[in-house]
Amino acid sequence: MLIGEVAQRSGISSRMLRHYDRTGVVSPSGRTASGYRHYTEEDLRRLFYAEGLRSLGLTLKQVAAVLDTPDFVPVSLVQQLIDRTRERLRQHEELLGTLERVQSSDPSDWTDVLRTVGLLRGLDAASPSTRHRFALSLSDLADRDVPLLVEAALSEPDAAVAASLRHGSRRQRAHTRQYRPSPQPAPASLSKWSHPATNYFSRH
């Protein structure tokens, strides 16, 4: 069976079949009368084994090793796949959590997004001493950063880091109150005459 027919019947693209051939995973071993290379029954069996193994997450090098080792014992390789899959899931969960925290900060532009990502990286640093230095260095925070600081302080296992984060959130809240515009009183003319009851009692 020629490569075009294999691609059509199997659903595996001609490009992937050629890649298998170049890497030595599956190569057509037969020849037609005209000299064209074609896939034998044994080649097709190997091809579908390769596809099955690749769907489990094996690299092409691992696929070739399995196919070329008749007495291959899969237990250790399966455990490697389990560990690698768990690590990918952990990374995806971490990314999802970061995206949700960025979204909750209500960024107005990409500058805000990058600021929040940088803040989260500092808050989530692996080393307590690194987190502590980061907490002490925080300045020019925005109001949207306060919930993230509070969340980090509540979940922080290191007491010194948690105290620095609480201090930073209190400082930002105090700054916000200090510079929040005070409500302007109504003009005297309006406050005196705008309500009918005021008019009544001012005349009596």
pLDDT digits (tens, 9 = 90+) for 46-74: 999 899 888 888 889 989 988 888 777 77
Neighbours of 56 (CB within 10 A): 13
d(CA 204, CA 103): 58
* pTM given for the model: 0.54
d(CA 23, CA 107): 47
User: Which of 162, 118, 116, 114 shows the shortest CA–CA distance to 136?
Assistant: 162
User: Which of 127, 119, 113, 120 shows the shortest CA–CA distance to 98?
Assistant: 120
Q: What is the pLDDT of residue 191?
A: 45
Q: Architecture of 3-67 per CATH?
A: Orthogonal Bundle (1.10)
Measured between alpha carbons, how far apart are the two ends of the chain, in Å?
Answer: 109
DSSP3 helix / strand / coil % (the chain, rounded to 5): 70, 0, 30
Q: What percent of the chain has pLDDT over 90?
A: 33
pLDDT at residue 36 tops 90: no
Going from N- to C-terminal start, the domains of the chain cover 3-67, 83-179
pLDDT in tens, 127-149: 999 999 998 988 878 888 888 88
